[in-house]
Amino acid sequence: MDPKAVKSDLVLILDFGSQYTHLITRRIRSLSIFSLCISGTSPLSSITSLNPKVVILSGGPHSVHSDDSPSFADGFVKWALSNGVFVLGICYGLQLLVQRLGGEVRVGERQEYGRMEIEVEKSCGLFGGKRVGDRQVVWMSHGDEAARLPNGFQVVARSQQGAVAAVEDQENRFYGLQYHPEVTHSPEGMETLRNFLFDVCGVNADWKMEDVMDEEIKVINNTVGPDDHVICALSGGVDSTVAAMLVHRAIGDRLHCVFVDNGLLRYKERERVMETFDRDLHLPVTCVDATNQFLRTGRTHSHTIKSHHNVGGLPKDMKLKLIEPLKLLFKDEVRQLGRILRVPELFLKRHPFPGPGLAVRILGDVTEGNALDILRQVDEIFIQSIKDAGIYDSIWQAFAVFLPVKSVGVQGDQRTHSHVVALRAVTSQDGMTADWYYFEHEFLDDVARKICNNVRGVNRVLQMTRKKMSLAGFLNMSTGCLSEILQQYGNNMMNLSKRIAEIILRSLGDGYEEKFYESEFGDCHGYLRIVNYTPPDDVEEREVEGLGMHTDMSCITIVYQDELGGLQMRSKEGKWMDVRPCENSLVVNIGDLMQAWSNGRLRSSEHRVVLKQFMNRFSLAFFWCFGDEKVILAPDAVVGVGNSRVYHPFVCLDYLKFRESNEVGNFDKIGYTVKDFAGLKVEVQ
């Protein structure tokens, strides 16, 4: 993708080494704004040639007092002033901006790391409608601080220790934050970025993946001559598959795909990849079996694998032009592009697989004995069991590891001395950070039995979890049965919510479950609420309030109620209807977030709980929700041609806070709804 060819407003990030820089790019792109990251020390010509509307100076581990501290190019400030460019400095970026503009940065008397509270000193565009004195929690990580601001700058917020937390120079369009708005530890950080980009800078949210595809096809055609041919090295993974489909869309049969079997692939990987490309993608692929060459080389000339085995590695004297159509995209964006190119969903959802293959999952000599064959069989059983359990899509990556130890055991009444394997599964949003996936004990027991009974040479199976036991893990051990039941119930509700969402999307339009589920609902999470309602105190009370009329702050709510019942739904005519308990059934309710996302086509039903019997009522509600930083905006296709939008876009967390601050109602109505918060002056049909 050529950034210069993108017609949308560009937010350019100058990277000075912060571990969070990639998050800034992701957060901004989630707002449908094109964002690009380049080195903070890039020449001025590299910056000006991209013609950005906004430049963000990232944080970093450096001090502006160090002789070797990085800085932006000479002439940057003059260029920004003369071209009307907005500049936002974050942490180190703020300090750098202050110093270069004539202010003073000093080593802070009190270093500020982690969660801190800041207070607004001046109403400004950065903080939207916040008033002087309002406070918010942010994530700080700095030792230096701005001691004297340049001319024209004003302090708009300070930390609880009195340090400068936010500054602005409205006339010259310079702004700064001494904290990280891009991380989730700053709960209102996304709102601050939205305020800055939309309200202060006037950036247009018009960057779409369809436009990325069209622009990339133009770049490919301009790079590849009319008679030139392209070789594509296919791994069978998501990235190489989407890249191949994109290039094929651009130049057709002049693309030649090659799949190399290096002998380190998963069970029947070659057959499955070749079948998919032939049957589903209709893309010719040449398969090269280089098993002997790779494994023989490994026996004689082995080398340590570099720490990042999926980066670089191309020969310096390569006599070919290089096309990297997905270079600037994140994994979730690659999947979005794959859906547009009609790559099968099952293929797009495949777990990542390392370039060196199973070699990095064998501790010890890869070619010794039958380690590869054993690992292939173990991995196949593990992955297939995950799929059969319906939890494959809930896991970011799962794999087996062949350990360099043997274990004494008993199999078939005989003592054995066989290999040990370990199983690992993690959850993640972007692969930058991950946490272990919690498996039910029954699942692990079943998988371990299958492996030991079906894979000759294995007599023990281990599971890898987090390094230290968390409080949740301790409670799981302490409370045993209850925690396991709730964990299993929550996992089942997550899977059920996904199935319900896909059905709902299908009802809105043909193929909408494939078009919108992963991109719009793929990061949804859920939480459980257990409620015990106490009965009326007075026998004269025939019906008492359990929970007043309200709508749910979720996409989907799934409710289990015991045999007492008490749940009532309100019809369009305003009549209350009992939802009677039925054996082996659950109640599914549309929430406010789904109503807004569907542009009012789906209705968040008003409901309440009444207590009619002199017994405690028990219910278990599962709320399936968007992530806090999700921007709720109905897609154009969902709105429909000729129809008007009935909700303006909003951040999920903002609405949740609005509801929480307005929960002051009574038995007739609790708080406010999404129409009160984000509704436009248009009648919902």
Q: What is the pLDDT of residues 546-586, one digit of tens each?
A: 677 889 999 999 998 877 778 889 887 778 888 888 877 89
Active-site hit among 112, 168, 182, 629: 182
With b for 16 or more beta-carbon neighbours within 10 A and e for fewer, the 139-164 pattern comes to: bbbbebbbeebbeebebbbbbebebb
Please provide the DSSP assignment of 96-158 as one string. Answer: HHHHHTT-EEEEEEEEEEEEEEEEESS--GGGTTPPTT-EEEEEEEEEEEEEEPPTT-EEEEE
For 73, counting Cβ atoms within 10 Å of its Cβ (0-12 exposed, 13-18 middle, 19+ buried), the class is middle
- Cα dist from 228 to 252, 298, 320, 493, 518, whole Å: 11, 35, 11, 52, 36
Per-residue burial over 566-592, b if 16 or more Cβ lie within 10 Å, else e, is bbbeeeeeeeeeeeebeeeeebebbbb
Sign of the CA dihedral with 636 first, then 641, 642, and 646 last: negative
Banded model confidence at residue 684, pLDDT cuts 50, 70, 90? very low
Per-residue pLDDT at 659: 81
- Nearest residue to 96 via CA among 159, 31, 39, 146: 146
Comparing 105-109, 284-288, 289-293, the range with the smallest average pLDDT is 105-109
Is residue 68 a known part of a binding site?
no
User: DSSP assignment of 18-67, as one string?
Assistant: -TTHHHHHHHHHTTT-EEEEEETT--HHHHHTT--SEEEE---S--TTST
Q: Is 240 helix (H, G, I), strand (E, B) or coil?
A: helix
- Residue 26's CB is within 10 A of a number of other CB atoms, namely 18
At residue 541 the predicted structure's pLDDT band, cuts being 50, 70 and 90, is very low
Residue 88 β-bridge partners: 56, 175
Predicted confidence band of residue 212 (pLDDT cuts 50, 70, 90): confident
Dist CA 454 CA 456 (whole Å): 6
Indicate if 91 belongs to the active site.
Answer: yes
Q: Of 569, 597, 422, whose CA–CA distance to 504 is shortest?
A: 597
3-state secondary structure 292-357: HHHHHHHHHCCCCCCCCCCCCCCCCCCCCCCCCCCCCCCHHHHHHHHHHCCCCHHHHCCCCCCCCH
Task: Using alpha carbons, select from 240, 209, 232, 124 the residue that is nearest to residue 171.
Answer: 124
Tokens read off for 172: 């010259």
Instruction: Look at residues 298, 91, 85, 254 and name the one whose alpha carbon lies nearest to residue 183.
Output: 91
Within 10 Å of residue 507's Cβ, how many Cβ atoms? 12
CA distance linking residue 303 with residue 360, whole number of Å: 12
- 241 in a known ligand binding site: yes
pLDDT tens, position by position, 342-396: 998 888 888 888 888 888 898 888 877 789 999 999 999 999 999 999 999 889 8
- Please identify which residue in the block is written with the tokens 């105190």: 537
Q: Is 65 a catalytic residue?
A: no
* Residues 249 and 46 sit within 8 Å (Cβ to Cβ): no
pLDDT at 123 (0 to 100): 86
Residue 561 is predicted with a pLDDT of 83
Task: Summarize the confidence of residues 498-521 as an average pLDDT.
Answer: 91
For each of the domains in the chain, give its residue range(s) and CATH number, in order of start. 11-200 (3.40.50.880), 209-300+320-349 (3.40.50.620), 370-470 (3.30.300.10), 485-662 (2.60.120.330)
pLDDT at 581: 83
Q: How confident is the model at residue 115 (pLDDT cuts 50, 70, 90)?
A: confident
Rounded-to-integer distance, Cα 316 and Cα 81, Å: 41
Mark whether 185 is an active-site residue: no
Distances (CA, A) of 537 to 534, 547, 613: 9, 16, 11
For tokens 């896909």, name the residue: 502
pLDDT tens digits, residue range 148-175?
Answer: 999 999 999 998 888 899 999 999 999 9
pLDDT of residue 478: 43
> 539: part of which helix (H) or strand (E)?
none
162 labelled binding-site residue: no
Q: Is 258 annotated as a binding residue?
A: no
Distance CA 228, CA 439 (A): 51
405-409 long-range contacts, Cβ below 8 Å, gap at least 24? 407/459, 407/460, 409/459, 409/460
CB 68 within 8 A of CB 99: no
Binding residue per annotation — 69?
no
Average pLDDT, the chain: 84
* C-alpha–C-alpha distance, residues 396 and 418, integer Å: 30
Q: How many CB atoms lie within 10 A of CB 195?
A: 20
Identify the active-site residue in 37, 91, 232, 257: 91
d(CA 531, CA 545): 14
- Residue 359, CA distances (Å) to 262, 264, 683 in order: 10, 6, 61
More confident site: 458 or 310: 458
* 56 — pLDDT class (breaks 50, 70, 90): very high
**What is the distance of C-alpha 169 from the center of its chain?**
34
Q: Is 180 helix (H, G, I), strand (E, B) or coil?
A: coil
Angle between helices 209-223 and 238-251 (to 10 degrees): 60
Which of the following is catalytic: 62, 180, 248, 607?
A: 180
pLDDT at 431 over 70: no
To the question of pTM greater than 0.75 for the whole model, the response is no
Task: Find where tokens 């017609």 sit.
Answer: 7
Could you give the CA distance from residue 470 to residue 360 in angstroms, rounded to a whole number? 28
The structure tokens listed for 265 are 């692939």
CA–CA gap between residue 473 and residue 22 (Å, rounded): 31
680 CB-near residues (< 8 Å, 6+ apart) = 644, 645, 646, 647, 648
Q: What integer pLDDT is reported at residue 434 of this predicted model?
A: 66
- Is 507 known to sit in a ligand binding site? no
Across 188-197, 224-233, 400-409, least confident range: 400-409
Question: Any idea which of 210-224, 294-308, 583-597 has the lowest mean pLDDT?
Answer: 294-308
- Structure tokens belonging to residue 197: 């980009």
Consult the annotation and say whether 156 binds a ligand.
no
